[in-house]
Structure 1
Amino acid sequence: MRLIKHPVLCNYYVTYRCNAKCSFCDIWEKPSPYVTLKNVQENLLALKKLGVKVIDFTGGEPLLHQQIDQFCALAKEMGFITTLTTNALLYPKFAERLKGMVDMLHFSLDTADKEKHDAMRGVACFDFVMESIEMAKSLGERPDILFTVFEDNKEDIQAVYEKICLPNDLMLILNPAFEYNQVGDSLSSKTLDELERWGKKKNVFLNQAFIELRRDGGNHISDPVCKAASTTLVISPENELVLPCYHLGERSFPINGNLASLYHSTDVQNQIATEGKLQACEGCTINCYMQPSFSVETSKYFWKSLPSTFKYNWVKGTWRQLV
């Protein structure tokens, strides 16, 4: 049964440009403009009308945008929950300007081994993460460590948890590597079992429904669990609405200052109706779309997702805004 029929999340790509070259991501290879403050102002007003609760300012590397703090401040003033994930290379530069503007601030870190992390990210950023943790704490911020889990770094979870997260009282977000349309890496059954155990520990967030979905073989087009297009609005740096999700990008619709009316248009609604049903959607496990998909419709994934989602939002203090 569908509980929420309006979009709840916006993945707002402020640029596709990135100052890292992660081995598991190709977004940094794309040419890209930067979004404008005018378009962000217009679109946030429309997103509010559409019922969106959470704005994820993303990229590329979102801190490459010189006005990112203004975007976050504007979203906060309008009552949105704000999220931002960074490789931390530029966080020391923006820390003061971002203070109090990001509800869910994530620093990407995939191992406690400096050389290994920098090799995975294609740039020397480990030291910047460590510096950013100290700087954020000094400003009263509560960043999270976002750990993308692969088969070849799963043994590093322990060290990140014990050496970095617990001493600094940081939440460790375990982000299982995902697959879609024959892209990405799968995790073994043994690794999934290990992650499930990790998710029960203090200061660890792991959506248990992610594990269940992988055990079930991901999204199935015959009975799709994915509600990517109806729960999540994807806005590109070109100021276009991208459907049914960023990763497939079947169609892009110019917004032209009319996001709300565009969303309700026949063409967009017809594209939304394809969510989870396209051939490329078979087996998909993309976390950023499954998280909101699980939250709007009662299913076994909804119930699996509920405890961990409540745990994280209780710790972050954002649960009140989601009710």
Structure 2
Amino acid sequence: MRLISHPVLCNYYVTYRCNASCGFCDIWEKPSPYITVENLRDNIRDLKRLGVKVIDFTGGEPLLHRQLDVLLREAKEQGMITTVTSNGLLYPKYAERLKGLVDMLHFSLDSPDRDEHDKSRNVKCFDKVMESIQIAREMGERPDIIFTIFEDNVDQIKRMWEEICLPNDLILILNPVFEYNGVGGNLSEQTLKELLWWGKQKNVYLNEAFIQLRLDGGNHVDDPICKAASTTIVISPENKLVLPCYHLGLKDFPIEGNLYDLYHSDEVQKLVALEGKLPACEGCAINCYMQPSFAVEMNRYWWKALPSTIKYNRIKGTWKQMLKM
């Protein structure tokens, strides 16, 4: 049963550029402009009309956009819940400007070990993440740590939790790796079960529906769980609407100041209707599109996702805003 029929999330790519070059990500390889404040203002207006409540300013590295604070303020003034995920390299420089503008501030960390993390990112940024945590907490911010889980680092969860998250009262977000274009990988059933155990621990967030989806073999085109195109608006740095999702990106449409009508156009809605049903959708388990998919339709994944969703939003204090969606 479909509970919400309108988009709930916008993945707004402020740039594809990045100051790291992680081995499990290829976005940093793309040439890219930066979005303009003028385009954002037009799009925010239409995102609100479409029913979008959460806007994720993403990239690349979003802090490379020198007007990120302006973008965030525009979103907050329209009542949006804002999220930003950063590698921490630039946060100490811009922290004061971003204060109070990010509802869900995430710092990416790949290992509790400095050398391992820096090797994963191909740039020395572990110390910057630690500095960013300290600065954010001193300013009253409540950042989270995103830890992408691979088969070979699941044994490091305990150290990450005990040495970094608990002492700093941070939420540890466990992000199971997904496979895309030969980047990423799969997780064994044993690792998935271990993640389920960790998800029940204090200050740990794991969406259990991610685990169930992987145990079920991912999305299936004959009975798709993916609702990427109808739940999520993807906007590129070139100010184009990307469909059916960023990772497939079969087609993009110039927005030209009229996102609302563009989204409801016949050409766009034909692609929306194909969400989860395309050949490339078979077996997909991409977290950033499955999370909103789990939230809009009452099924076994909705029930699996519910406890962790309540847990996270209770801790972060965003649950009242979520109820308005």
Please indicate the TM-score interval, normalised by the length of the shorter structure: over 0.9
Shift of 1:181: 6.0
CA distance in 1, matches of 2:78, 2:93: 25
Please give the per-residue CA displacement for 1:274-297, whole angstroms capped at 9, x wherever unaligned: 100000000000000000000000
Q: Partner residue of 1:141?
A: 141
Shift of 1:180: 4.1
Q: Partner residue of 2:11?
A: 11
Amino acid at match of 1:204: V
3-state SS of 1:184 partner: coil
Shift of 1:58: 0.1
Please give the per-residue CA displacement for 1:190-226, whole angstroms capped at 9, x wherever unaligned: 1001000000001000000000000000000010000
Q: Partner residue of 1:57?
A: 57
Amino acid at match of 1:127: D
Q: Partner residue of 1:176?
A: 176
Q: Partner residue of 1:164?
A: 164
Q: Which piece of structure 1 moves more, 180-189 or 51-60? A: 180-189
CA distance in 2, matches of 1:117, 1:299: 37
Structure 1 segment 67-216 matched on structure 2, within 5 A: 67-180=67-180, 183-216=183-216
Q: Partner residue of 2:319?
A: 319
Amino acid at match of 2:202: K
Shift of 1:179: 2.2
**CA RMSD of the aligned region, Å?**
0.7
Number of corresponding residues: 323
Q: Partner residue of 1:32?
A: 32
CA distance in 1, matches of 2:180, 2:147: 19
Shift of 1:115: 0.2
Shift of 1:152: 1.4
Q: Which piece of structure 1 moves more, 172-181 or 116-125? A: 172-181
Please give the per-residue CA displacement for 1:66-93, whole angstroms capped at 9, x wherever unaligned: 0001111111111000000000000001
Please give the per-residue CA displacement for 1:273-320, whole angstroms capped at 9, x wherever unaligned: 110000000000000000000000011000000000111011111111
Q: Which piece of structure 1 moves more, 152-161 or 207-216? A: 152-161
Q: Once superposed, which parts of structure 1, at least 4 consecutive aligned residues long, lie more than 3 Å away?
A: 180-183
Q: TM-score, normalised by structure 2?
A: 0.98
CA distance in 2, matches of 1:283, 1:290: 12
Q: Partner residue of 1:278?
A: 278
Amino acid at match of 1:302: W
> Kindly tell me: are residues 14 and 67 of structure 1, through their superposed partners in 2, closer, same or farther at Cα, counting changes over 3 Å?
same
Please give the per-residue CA displacement for 1:108-134, whole angstroms capped at 9, x wherever unaligned: 001110000000011100000000000
Q: Partner residue of 1:299?
A: 299
CA distance in 1, matches of 2:5, 2:122: 41
3-state SS of 1:179 partner: coil
Q: Percent of aligned pairs with the same residue?
A: 70
| Alpha carbons 1:243, 1:250 under 8 Å: kept | yes
Q: Partner residue of 1:289?
A: 289
Q: TM-score, normalised by structure 1?
A: 0.99
Please give the per-residue CA displacement for 1:204-259, whole angstroms capped at 9, x wherever unaligned: 00000000000000000010000000000000000000000000000000000000
CA distance in 2, matches of 1:21, 1:297: 36
